[in-house]
Chain A
Amino acid sequence: RKEVEQDPGPFNVPEGATVAFNCTYSNSASQSFFWYRQDCRKEPKLLMSVYSSGNEDGRFTAQLNRASQYISLLIRDSKLSDSATYLCVVNTLGRGNTPLVFGKGTRLSVIA
């Protein structure tokens, strides 16, 4: 089983739609979780951290379910500018000096 797995995508949604991405991780010792965003031909950038209680940043909501070992990202009222690849990132202390593991990413296309 891969350490971090994401929905395969691509997701093609109309403007204004709500879209959800899921991500599962295999290491139960994982401690912190992030969503990064990567635009086409650009570098990844941190979108938001994921906290145990769930957290929201504007139209974006991140949830963590430790029991099931999955993380989700919900985007409400999608904008054209949300089109990008969303990377799930898991941090597992004790995994040496390279605790950050990236998923393959899920591509989102928001269509007018």
Chain B
Amino acid sequence: ETGVTQTPRHLVMGMTNKKSLKCEQHLGHNAMYWYKQSAKKPLELMFVYSLEERVENNSVPSRFSPECPNSSHLFLHLHTLQPEDSALYLCASSQGIRTSGRPPGELFFGEGSRLTVL
């Protein structure tokens, strides 16, 4: 059983819709991440939150908007997406981030939210 849960597992939306992906970690970690996984591409880091502060925004279009209300929850708000945004969106958490002087520990991933944009 994963310590990182994501909802919804599947989402189909039109280009004009607004939806949100939710992630919750039960591991007491201090960093949370959003990754995008498209077919035949490596995992692409989108956002990193460390202690609820966004520490990385990896040149992601503004139609993706993250929110981290506390150290256990992470959201990805989606607005006016494009068909090429269809992918698996993975949330992850870890203990340890650069500001602590230590590299991030093992990443624990959620099962992902598979998004299809029509």
Contacts and interface: CB of A to CB of B under 8 A. Distances in A.
Contacts of A98: 45, 48, 56, 58
Interface of A: 4, 31-32, 34, 36, 42-46, 87, 91, 93, 96-105
Contact of A96 (B2, B43, B56, B111): B56
Interface string B59-96: 00000000000000000000000000000001000000
Contacts of B56: 96-98
- What is the predominant secondary structure among interface residues of chain B facing chain A? loop
Interface of B: 2, 40-43, 45, 48, 50, 55-56, 58, 90, 97-99, 103-104, 106-107, 109-112
Contacts of B50: 97
A49 B55 CA distance: 25
